[in-house]
Amino acid sequence: MIGSDELAELRLELEQQRRLAESKEQQLERYAADLREVFKAERARAEELSESYVATVRALTNAVEVRDAYTGKHAERVAAYGLEITTRIDPDLAAEPQTEFGFLLHDVGKVAIPDGILHKPYPLSEEEERLMRRHVLIGWEILSGIPFLEQAATIVRSHHERWDGLGYPDGLKGEEIPLAARAFAVADALDAITTSRPYRPAASLAEARMSICAAAGTQFDPRVVQALDSTPDAILERLRSGLG
Ligand SMILES: [Fe+2]
Q: What is the pLDDT of residues 29-52, one digit of tens each?
A: 999 999 999 999 999 998 888 888
Q: What is the pLDDT of residues 121-145, one digit of tens each?
A: 778 899 999 999 999 999 999 999 8
**Tell me, what DSSP letter sits at residue 178?**
-
Q: Which residues contact 34 (CB under 8 A, 6 or more apart)?
A: none
According to the model, what pLDDT value does residue 70 have?
57
Q: Which residues contact 160 (CB under 8 A, 6 or more apart)?
A: 133, 136, 167, 168, 169, 185
Cα 52 to averaged position of ligand 1 atoms, centre (Å): 25
pLDDT tier for residue 244 given thresholds of 50, 70 and 90 = very low
Cα 136 to averaged position of ligand 1 atoms, centre (Å): 6
pLDDT tier for residue 71 given thresholds of 50, 70 and 90 = low
CA angle 108, 112, 114 (to 5 degrees): 125
Q: What is the pLDDT of residues 167-196, one digit of tens each?
A: 999 999 999 999 999 999 999 999 999 998
Q: What is the pLDDT of residues 85-124, one digit of tens each?
A: 999 999 999 999 999 999 999 999 998 998 888 888 778 8
Cα 205 to averaged position of ligand 1 atoms, centre (Å): 21
According to the model, what pLDDT value does residue 126 have?
93
Between the alpha carbon of residue 166 and those of residues 55, 109, 177, the distances in Å are 35, 21, 12
Q: Which residue has the higher pLDDT, 78 or 244?
A: 78
Q: What is the pLDDT of residues 190-215, one digit of tens each?
A: 999 999 887 788 999 999 999 999 99
d(CA 9, CA 81): 77
Cα 62 to averaged position of ligand 1 atoms, centre (Å): 15
Between the alpha carbon of residue 26 and those of residues 23, 35, 68, 145, 172, the distances in Å are 5, 14, 63, 47, 61
- Burial (Cβ within 10 Å: 0-12, 13-18, ≥19) of residue 58: middle
Between the alpha carbon of residue 171 and those of residues 114, 168, 186, the distances in Å are 25, 5, 17
Cα 198 to averaged position of ligand 1 atoms, centre (Å): 18
